[in-house]
Amino acid sequence: MTENLRGRVALVTGGSRGIGAAIVKALAAADAAVAINYRSHAEQADALVERIRSAGGNAIAVQADVSQAEAVAKMIERVKSELGPIDILVNNAGVAIVRGVDDLSEADFDETIAVNLKSVFLCTQAVLPMMRATTWGRIVNISSGAARGAGSIGPHYNASKAGMEGLTRGYAARLVKEGITVNAVAPSLIETDMMKGQESLVARIPLGRFGRVEEVATAVMMLINNPYMTGQTVAMSGGMAFN
């Protein structure tokens, strides 16, 4: 069962499309007020806000590069002033720069770590005072099967997602007594823009199809609704791998 989240404020980074947009819709359907962060897809973010408001929900779009501390601080202040203190944070923003070992540059590595990993640290640190004030908080980080497997993007991506899961466990252990849970969802081969032209990869999936963004959102909502789960990573791979 999905808990009614009326009165709760959620922030989803990278929320304008794909997995992020599906999570935004699920949160709005549960009556949470949702801040949709985006870096460059303003039109899609605004359309999502309009869709939620038309259905009677409450949402805003907030532009910010979440790998930058100053931008994160401004984003958090705007969300707090327009929607209220943040109760739920979904760290979904990420980049997937496909590189082989011989092609991988320092710039590629730095950007991947900054967007995929440093942003989780910056956003989490920024929302903690609000969650601690109410002794209630839910943080869900969107990882990847690449945190434990080879993947097809590159070792820089593997490192960023493995680091995210390390942050998940580290925060969970230290915040559990304060009413704040921290978990991760690790999807593999989900039907997003990243998978266009990659249909041959379906042959690797025992279930026989790509995962759907709505299925990832369902896992995120399960973690938000369950106060007894913390420090966990929920893997979603259609049977390719098992924990």
| Strongest mean pLDDT among 1-10, 60-69, 199-208 | 60-69
105 CB burial (10 A radius; 0-12, 13-18, 19+): exposed
pLDDT (mean) for 89-96: 96
Is residue 211 within 8 A of residue 198, CB to CB? The reply is no
CA–CA separation, 188 vs 211, rounded Å? 8
CATH number of 9-236: 3.40.50.720
Of 32-46, 135-149, 199-213, the range with the lowest mean pLDDT is 199-213
Q: What pLDDT band is residue 33 in, cutting at 50, 70 and 90?
A: very high
171 CB burial (10 A radius; 0-12, 13-18, 19+): buried
Active site residue 157: yes
Q: What is the pLDDT of residues 68-82, one digit of tens each?
A: 999 999 999 999 999
pLDDT (mean) for 1-7: 79
For the chain, the average pLDDT equals 95
Domain residue ranges of the chain, discontinuous segments joined by +: 9-236
